[in-house]
Structure 1
């Protein structure tokens, strides 16, 4: 256990993953993630957090801790958080490092909600959250957040499902804690995280109170099982470049009668606060999304620029238009994040990114990522869909192939940039990333609902009211 200023190393983190956690990949139990030929890449990606030089700060109470655990109190704190996420994403080759970002998003939301629940019901949730926060900050742990329930029949509420386990629920209450059952979908980096924080996915009614729960558990907790998605961006593309260096995995995370002690329970049947917690987390998480996506798009911008030069079309008008489309996407993400940071809402002494700017940026991100892919395909040409394989480039016929792949530069150099362009725009990776960019951190509809709900219409209504008088 790492305490106080004895900050964790990459080696400490990787060693901690060998703790008997139940992770399955393609139907088989994985004995050791750190030695698995595919899953170890996700672990090494997460471990880059501990190699990043500018990640620590001196907290007046806790000592030296990760900047991700700095509770935002002001616009400047949110701006610093945006920069941390942006810069760390660049450090990880344009792939978001979620290791402490999403967990701290959840912790900030829990701090605010816990105080509100305590005031209403006389509970002691804030003390529990604070104790847990201090433990993970001092130990420098990685955290996954499990929010999205599998949901079953979407037309029915949690308590109305044919199978009651379609939302994570309380199945037993004991003197020392609770027992839960159910599953959460697409839990990012759960299999390579130290802890998993579980929060509600939606607003609840009284009939749903058994589903109104929030808690945290170690990833090797008995009864917790994780089924990892297939990593097709590597196994389905021998020509992959980026994904062999960095990617993040997701799991179907199953809670099979999992016990949680009371000191790790942060919401217990207070159904009227489930929606508040869910939306608070979503707001922080979408701010995080804007920050990392602005950095990730540098992958597309840089690849587009190099590919245009390799093809000898860098001065063509339609190429300039495509480059500007990618640039617009990147900078609108960043503008939305900065605006949200500069204009926060303060609740319980904690700064919340402005929900309007967060959701406007997130909606633009959801709706226009396809334009980024289109721009890169337009610049690259159809060759990225029909490019010879990595095995061809290593065969005795490679010189013949490379001869006919030259453009404005030699065939070898052009083939390398085309391989990256293919990975970003015409491979299993882009199928995964397109789904993520449209649906991760909340769907298009979720952002629209929250934007419609939280927008201040008073200025517009007052203007028209004056005209109609």
Structure 2
């Protein structure tokens, strides 16, 4: 199996990464971006991710294709435990890429049956490659979209969705951009899939493929890491965070054996939704682990403030417990009652979307609970520079609570990061929009829910 050092060395491959207007030659040595690389590398330190495959030998559990409830329950536990191992920050390195592979495996078989294509073989060979080489994979799904009122083929600029611009004997050439692609700059591979259903007029946009992160013409523009550069007292983000990029495909060549969908527009929506279901199951699994940060921080700040036995504090704590456990219960229920498609166990879409929608709608309540317990000091406390100055001891004296000021400040710095900093804004946006917006979950839940039981009951009552 691959080592942490092997992975970090592989990132020095000439990939085009830009940060704050500059081309980054080596992301592993950049003072800020290297933290995301080191976060990704923790995957290779986590020994409990390995299993023995009958064909491939020792491979990552992330690449085990789920065929049963137990497989999905094991995957939930893997994601949950790895998130805890990474200090409560999700490690996407093989999770989301494998979500995409599972969705591709199902869709490829359906397309092959209808059109006589050979996508199943392409996907199977790709899975074997990434599993044997123990690669990390980002997934680029969300197109930049341009005018949201128009379809892909109706855009003023045709590059607002990733599209096929040339077809060659040895492959295709693609152009366009995908937004907020998580950890793409520190991944080995990038899988690209459609973001929506397509029509015949959109067929050039109905494309799925995989490319290495250093592919010619691929450029990645990293978001500003304000959680570190904008907060000198940050604690968590200096250990773990995940970056996102605007991922631009400037006439990138893709060999045929890495193409998984080519103008079969009637399956673009199927692929997009299947991926979303796996992706949201992953979200429930990691988010419930991440909530330990808010639950633990709330408990500790209540203790250092001397209010852990107050009723409103108990109410706030229980609120966070409910949020965490509703997500975890939804993930477990979706694993126990899967939908099996093409021999692959898909998390139950109803339970998955119920949990995900609850997660979208109520994270701001968790932030409110933390702030309520911590108090306004997390927004107004002196800076790290003040604490490090000659006046630091005087400041710390007046920041004591039920414990001395030095101990309370340690807790307050983390609580500030979670409740009153750039991290808060980042997580608020992510918890509402990442892995699909609230509207996307509502549409799928409304469309796929079986109303017969409820309707029949009312008909029975009505006679």
Deviation at 1:53, TM superposition (A): 1.6
| Distance in 2 between residues matched to 1:330 and 1:428, nearest whole Å | 22
2:441 corresponds, among 433, 440, 447, to 447
Gaps of 5+ in 1: 1-6
2:337 corresponds, among 338, 343, 360, to 343
Q: String of CA shifts for 1:223-256, please: whole Å, max 9, x gaps.
A: 0000000000000000000000000000000000
Gaps of 5+ in 2: none
Deviation at 1:106, TM superposition (A): 0.1
**Residues matched between the structures, number:** 463
| Distance in 1 between residues matched to 2:55 and 2:459, nearest whole Å | 52
Matched, 1:148 2:113: no
Deviation at 1:393, TM superposition (A): 1.2
Matched, 1:208 2:217: no
Q: What secondary structure, in the 3-state scheme, does the structure 1 residue paired with 2:442 have?
A: helix
Q: What is the RMSD of the two structures over their aligned residues, measured on CA atoms?
A: 0.5
Aligned to 1:264: 258
**TM-score, normalisation: structure 1:** 0.98
| Distance in 2 between residues matched to 1:61 and 1:120, nearest whole Å | 29
Deviation at 1:220, TM superposition (A): 0.1
Q: What secondary structure, in the 3-state scheme, does the structure 2 residue paired with 1:54 have?
A: helix
| Distance in 1 between residues matched to 2:409 and 2:392, nearest whole Å | 11
Aligned to 1:229: 223
Q: String of CA shifts for 1:290-335, please: whole Å, max 9, x gaps.
A: 0000000000000000000000000000000000011000000100
Matched, 1:378 2:372: yes
1:101 corresponds, among 86, 91, 95, to 95
Deviation at 1:398, TM superposition (A): 1.1
| Distance in 2 between residues matched to 1:454 and 1:56, nearest whole Å | 35
| Distance in 2 between residues matched to 1:344 and 1:62, nearest whole Å | 26
Aligned to 1:354: 348
Matched, 1:111 2:112: no
Q: Which moved further from structure 2: 456-465 or 262-271?
A: 456-465
| Distance in 2 between residues matched to 1:53 and 1:399, nearest whole Å | 43
1:299 corresponds, among 288, 293, 315, to 293
Matched, 1:284 2:278: yes
Written as runs of structure 1 = structure 2, the 5 A alignment for 1:315-464 is: 315-464=309-458
- Superposition misfits of 4+ residues, deviation over 4 angstroms: none
Q: What secondary structure, in the 3-state scheme, does the structure 2 residue paired with 1:340 have?
A: helix
Written as runs of structure 1 = structure 2, the 5 A alignment for 1:10-29 is: 10-29=4-23
| Distance in 1 between residues matched to 2:227 and 2:392, nearest whole Å | 24
Deviation at 1:434, TM superposition (A): 0.5
Deviation at 1:356, TM superposition (A): 0.3
Q: What secondary structure, in the 3-state scheme, does the structure 1 residue paired with 2:58 have?
A: strand
Written as runs of structure 1 = structure 2, the 5 A alignment for 1:153-232 is: 153-232=147-226
| Distance in 1 between residues matched to 2:139 and 2:122, nearest whole Å | 17
2:54 corresponds, among 48, 57, 60, to 60
| Distance in 1 between residues matched to 2:92 and 2:126, nearest whole Å | 19
Aligned to 1:3: none
Q: String of CA shifts for 1:165-196, please: whole Å, max 9, x gaps.
A: 00000000000000000000000000000000
Deviation at 1:468, TM superposition (A): 2.9
| Distance in 2 between residues matched to 1:38 and 1:53, nearest whole Å | 27
| Distance in 2 between residues matched to 1:434 and 1:32, nearest whole Å | 31
